[in-house]
Structure 1
Amino acid sequence: MSRLPLDVNFMFLHSLPSPIPFTSTFNPPNLLPYLGKENLICIDRNEMSSERGKDVAEGSSRIPGDHQQQPATPSRYESQKRRDWNTFGQYLKNQRPPVPLSQCNCNHVLDFLRYLDQFGKTKVHLQGCMFYGQPEPPAPCTCPLRQAWGSLDALIGRLRAAYEENGGSPETNPFASGAIRVYLREVRECQAKARGIPFKKKKKKPNQGKGSDESSSTMQFS
């Protein structure tokens, strides 16, 4: 049987008593002699292309919300650095008179480190104490508690980085002052003598590669 032209096919479809949905799974066999398999496939593809374009248009408004990247969780170091920076800023505000951050110098930093000693948990024996120089005293004593040298050294490192991240100049960074390094070295030596803990540098391993960094050990006091 000869096939009708495509416009006649459409006129025939519109003359049917009820609309016939042409989907990817609908190919009525009784219409094949009139329309031809090629025309049905053509109509079917147009239908699918239209539906696909509709889905893309509707889904485009959902893509930003569905695939929106969650803010990265700050690392433990970044969180601690932010807390230290806020604590130091609050310390400057509590001074009488308050000290602006732009006028902060190494003396304010040294006062801040001494202020933190009241919250320390490291027993530092005085020279007159019978346990002076003993790493593990057998009995309690009345010697004061101090901030451990390792904790102060790590604190200064975080504050030095936070100062420059908040707009401070490396040339005027009070946490990188030579007076701060001298103070930390004196605290390290004092605590090592009081508790009988020698400070030793980490030895380079024979099989250590050229790209490895050699650094001195950080002595953490408890």
Structure 2
Amino acid sequence: MDTAGEGPSRGRELGATDNAGPAPPSRYESQKRRDWNTFLQYLRNHKPPLVLSRCSGAHVIEFLRYLDQFGKTKVHVPRCVFHGHPSPPGPCACPLRQAWGSLDALIGRLRAAYEEAGGTPDTNPFAARAVRIYLRDVRDSQAKARGIPYEKKKRKRALGAAHGHGGGESSSPAALSGESSGSGAGGCSSEGLL
């Protein structure tokens, strides 16, 4: 195979991208910036106004509840005849809420934005235990209301070690811990969340 002939053309391709300037921000980066600006605006409009350095997990939960008014996911209340039915046959007056997957992805982006803005991981209000518990409760209540069981992923490495299986199987830390990647679990899109 003649690689000498490929060199100059590959060089021109690389050079062309270098002269084009910086690449536009990814969809994730753009969304993260919009989410961060929206959260800062929420703090400014809060009564009384809040400063980021005094923001706690409780304020983050208050923000998530505020966002519910813009939600598009029908969440059946326990007294609704459709509570627990994945495909209700008719309309009902139950409220629309933000989907759990959208909230989970939002918190992931805001947690990253907080640290990029100079915050430290140990003071990050988006990583507070109360926020994790709130998201877990939202996930469980929405799954129950919509009749969709949620099952935690099993830890492959722990199961393999318990049975004496050495290696050969590699998994990402997120998959092992059962964590969501934050990109919209279950196909939920967070586009238009804010």
Q: Normalising by the residue count of structure 1, what TM-score does the alignment of the two structures yield?
A: 0.64
Unaligned residue ranges in structure 2 (runs of 5+)? 1-17, 161-166, 190-194
Q: Which runs of 4+ in 1 moved over 6 A?
A: none
Using a 3 Å threshold, how does the CA distance of structure 1 residues 209 and 144 change in structure 2: closer, same or farther?
farther
Larger RCO of the pair (alpha carbons < 8 Å, separation 6+): 2
The one-letter code of the counterpart of 2:108 is G
For the Cα contact (< 8 Å) 1:122–1:221, is it kept in 2? no
Matches within 5 A, 1:51-200: 68-200=19-151
Q: Distance in 2 between matches of 1:142 and 1:179?
A: 30
For the Cα contact (< 8 Å) 1:160–1:176, is it kept in 2? yes
Other structure's SS at 2:21 match = coil
Using a 3 Å threshold, how does the CA distance of structure 1 residues 189 and 133 change in structure 2: closer, same or farther?
same
Q: Which residue pairs with 2:11 in the alignment?
A: none
What's the CA shift string for 1:197-219, capped at 9, x where partnerless? Answer: 00123465x9x963331253634
Q: Which residue pairs with 1:43 in the alignment?
A: none
What is the count of residue pairs matched by the alignment? 154
How far the C-alpha of 1:98 sits from its partner, in A, is 1.3
The one-letter code of the counterpart of 2:130 is A
Other structure's SS at 2:79 match = coil
Q: Distance in 2 between matches of 1:73 and 1:85?
A: 18
How far the C-alpha of 1:173 sits from its partner, in A, is 0.3
Matches within 5 A, 1:25-40: none
How far the C-alpha of 1:97 sits from its partner, in A, is 2.1
What's the CA shift string for 1:158-210, capped at 9, x where partnerless? Answer: 00000000000111000000000000000011001100000123465x9x963
For the Cα contact (< 8 Å) 1:148–1:220, is it kept in 2? no
Q: Distance in 2 between matches of 1:182 and 1:116?
A: 18
Q: Distance in 1 between matches of 2:74 and 2:150?
A: 17
Q: Distance in 1 between matches of 2:23 and 2:124?
A: 29
How far the C-alpha of 1:147 sits from its partner, in A, is 0.4
Structure showing greater radius of gyration is: 1
Q: Which residue pairs with 1:210 in the alignment?
A: 169
How far the C-alpha of 1:108 sits from its partner, in A, is 1.0
How far the C-alpha of 1:85 sits from its partner, in A, is 0.3
Alignment RMSD (CA, Å): 2.1
Using a 3 Å threshold, how does the CA distance of structure 1 residues 209 and 152 change in structure 2: closer, same or farther?
farther
Q: Which residue pairs with 2:164 in the alignment?
A: none
The one-letter code of the counterpart of 1:160 is R
Q: Distance in 2 between matches of 1:107 and 1:180?
A: 8
Q: Distance in 2 between matches of 1:93 and 1:210?
A: 49
Q: Distance in 2 between matches of 1:202 and 1:110?
A: 26
Other structure's SS at 1:71 match = coil
The one-letter code of the counterpart of 2:28 is Y
Unaligned residue ranges in structure 1 (runs of 5+)? 1-66
Matches within 5 A, 1:4-23: none
